[in-house]
Amino acid sequence: MQILTPFFAVVRSRQLGRQFRDVERSIRTLPKRSRDRLSMLTLREIGQASRCDFPHLYGTTPESRYLPWGQGTDLGYERARSNNAEVALRGIALWLAVAYHETKTATQPNLQAQHRQLLQLLRELKELHGGGSRSDTSDSWMQESAVA
């Protein structure tokens, strides 16, 4: 298994990288009002995922929990490509939440790099939230995350 783990990490890193580029491009094209809404949806999804026993498997059916990785990012990615704006926003939020939890404790360098990119994007969304000063915005976003 130790031989396969680095291989799985590289494959997963490439898949997440490809999806991340598409998700980031989608976020950058959103109007400010939609990005504000996405910020709240992402916050809620991260909070809901963190309450699960296995946050990185959030959005995965129970019978699929023994796969090398969960299905939440794939589900979120498919929804993010929807023509329906609400479905797309919810898909992006799901993808961000699951990818965050999946890469948070990664020990492989490729996945750690993915996590840093994801944190940068989440920080940008967090700064959009609330409309107050930067420190007020960050504090309120994190406090609401604990509540969510």
DSSP 2: T
Q: What is the pLDDT of residues 105-132, one digit of tens each?
A: 888 888 899 999 999 999 998 887 655 4
> What is the C-alpha to C-alpha distance for residues 90 and 81, in angstroms, rounded to an integer?
11
- Mean predicted confidence (pLDDT) in 69-79: 90
Q: Work out how many domains the chain is built from and give that number.
A: 1
Q: pTM to 2 decimals? A: 0.82
Residue 76 pLDDT more than 80?
yes
Residue 134 pLDDT more than 80?
no
Give DSSP secondary structure letters for 38-64: HHHHHHHHHHHHHTSSSGGGTT--GGG
Residues spanned by the domain of 128 = 4-147
> What is the C-alpha to C-alpha distance for residues 98 and 68, in angstroms, rounded to an integer?
14
